[in-house]
Amino acid sequence: MHVCLLLAGTFPPDERTRSHAAALREAGHTVTVICRGGPREVESETVDGIDVRRVPDETLYAGVRGKIDGAQYALRAIRPAWLRSVEEIDEERAIDACCAMDLRLVKTALRAGDAHDAPVIADLPGNPPALERQRNRTERWGDRLRNPRKLARRLLLSPWRLGRLESGPLGDVDRLVTTCEEARARYVREVGIDPRRVAVVRDTAADPNAPIEIDDHGLGFDPGAAFVVTAFAGGDHGVPADPANLETLVAAAARAADEVVDLHLVLVGDLDSAAADDLETQARRAVAGGRLTVRTATDPDRVPAY
In Å, the largest CA–CA distance within the chain is: 66
Whether 37 and 9 have beta carbons less than 8 Å apart is answered as: no
User: Does residue 227 sit in the same domain as residue 85?
Assistant: no
Does residue 275 form part of some domain? yes
Nearest alpha carbon to residue 101 among 71, 75, 76, 128: 128
Whether 107 and 76 have beta carbons less than 8 Å apart is answered as: yes
Nearest alpha carbon to residue 153 among 81, 239, 216, 91: 239
User: Does residue 193 sit in the same domain as residue 127?
Assistant: yes
CA–centroid distance for 270 within its chain: 17
User: Does residue 41 sit in the same domain as residue 178?
Assistant: yes
pLDDT at site 106: 96
Domain that holds residue 28: 2-200
Does residue 56 form part of some domain? yes
Other Cβ atoms closer than 10 A to 119 = 12
CA distance 69 to 169: 20
pLDDT in 10s for each residue of the chain, 306 residues: 999 999 998 898 788 898 899 999 999 999 999 999 988 889 999 999 999 999 998 888 788 988 898 888 888 889 999 999 999 999 999 999 999 999 999 999 999 999 999 999 999 988 888 877 777 777 776 776 677 666 666 677 788 888 889 989 999 999 999 988 888 999 999 999 999 999 998 765 555 565 555 555 556 666 665 666 777 766 554 445 666 777 777 777 777 766 666 777 777 776 677 777 777 777 776 655 466 777 655 555 555 554
CA distance 55 to 37: 5
User: Does residue 139 sit in the same domain as residue 288?
Assistant: no
Does residue 164 form part of some domain? yes
Does residue 87 form part of some domain? yes
Does residue 189 form part of some domain? yes
pLDDT at site 289: 46
Does residue 241 form part of some domain? yes
Number of domains the chain contains? 2
Whether 260 and 227 have beta carbons less than 8 Å apart is answered as: yes
User: Does residue 188 sit in the same domain as residue 240?
Assistant: no
Other Cβ atoms closer than 10 A to 224 = 10
Q: Is the dihedral of CA 170, 175, 180, 182 positive or negative?
A: positive
CA distance 217 to 219: 6
